[in-house]
Amino acid sequence: MKTRILAVAAMGCMACAAMAQNQYDALRFLGSDLNGTARFVGMGGAMSALGADLSTIATNPAGIGLYRSNDAAVSFGWNSNSIKSDWNGTNVTQNSDKMSFDQIGFVWTTKIGNKTDLRYLNFAFNYHKKANFTREFNAKGALNNGLSITDQMADMLWNAGNDMGPTFLTESDFNDLLDSQNPYLANKYIGTPFLGTMGARTGLVDPVCDPKTGEITDMYGWQGQDGEYYSREEGSISEYDFNMSFNVRDRFYFGVTLGVYDLNYTRYSSYGENLEQGAALTLDNWAKTEGTGFDLKLGAIIRPFEYSPFRIGFAIHTPTWYAMTDKYVSTLTSYNIPDYDGKPQTYTENLRDYYGEPNYLLDYHLISPWKFNVSAGTTFSGIVALDAEYEYDMYQKSRLTDTEGYDYNGTTAIDETLKGVHTFRVGMEACVTPRFSVRAGYNFQSSPITDDSFKNIAATDETRTDPEYFNLKSTQAVTVGLGYRGRIIYADLAYKYAFYKGDFYAFDADYTANGGYALSPAKIDGNRNQILLTVGVRF
In the prediction, which pLDDT does 515 show? 52
Q: Is the pTM of this model over 0.85?
A: yes
E strand intervals along 179-320: 206-209, 216-220, 224-248, 252-275, 280-302, 311-317
Instruction: Tally helices (H) and strands (E) across the chain.
Output: 8, 24
Please report how the helices 194-201 and 171-179 are oriented relative to each other, as an axis angle in degrees rounded to 10.
90
Give the domain extent around 275. Answer: 4-75+96-148+222-538
134 found inside a domain? yes
Domain count, the chain: 1
Query: CB–CB of 100/78 below 8 Å?
Result: yes
188 found inside a domain? no
81 found inside a domain? no
211 found inside a domain? no
177 found inside a domain? no
Strand partners, 399: 367
- From first to last of its 539 residues, the chain has per-residue pLDDT tens of 233 333 333 333 343 445 568 999 999 999 899 999 999 999 999 999 999 999 999 999 999 999 999 999 999 999 999 999 999 999 999 999 999 999 999 999 999 999 899 999 999 999 999 999 999 999 999 999 899 999 999 999 998 877 666 888 899 999 999 999 999 988 889 889 999 999 999 999 999 998 888 899 999 999 999 999 999 999 999 999 999 999 999 999 999 999 999 999 999 999 999 999 999 999 999 999 999 999 999 999 999 998 899 999 999 999 999 999 999 999 999 999 998 888 999 999 999 999 876 556 789 999 999 999 999 999 998 899 999 999 999 999 999 999 998 999 889 999 999 999 999 999 999 999 999 999 999 999 999 999 999 999 888 888 999 999 999 999 999 999 999 999 999 999 999 999 999 999 999 876 554 456 788 999 999 999 999 999 999 99
Could you tell me the CATH number of the domain that includes residue 241? 2.40.160.60
| Enclosing H/E stretch for 78 | strand 71-87
193 found inside a domain? no
Distance between CA 456 and CA 507 in Å, rounded? Answer: 10
CB atoms within 10 A of CB 210: 11
In the prediction, which pLDDT does 392 show? 97
Could you tell me whether strands 360-367 and 321-338 are parallel, antiparallel, or unpaired per DSSP bridges? Answer: antiparallel
DSSP state of 112: -
459 found inside a domain? yes
DSSP state of 211: T
Distance between CA 430 and CA 442 in Å, rounded? Answer: 16
Could you tell me whether strands 280-302 and 311-317 are parallel, antiparallel, or unpaired per DSSP bridges? Answer: antiparallel
Mean predicted lDDT score pLDDT of the chain: 92
247 found inside a domain? yes
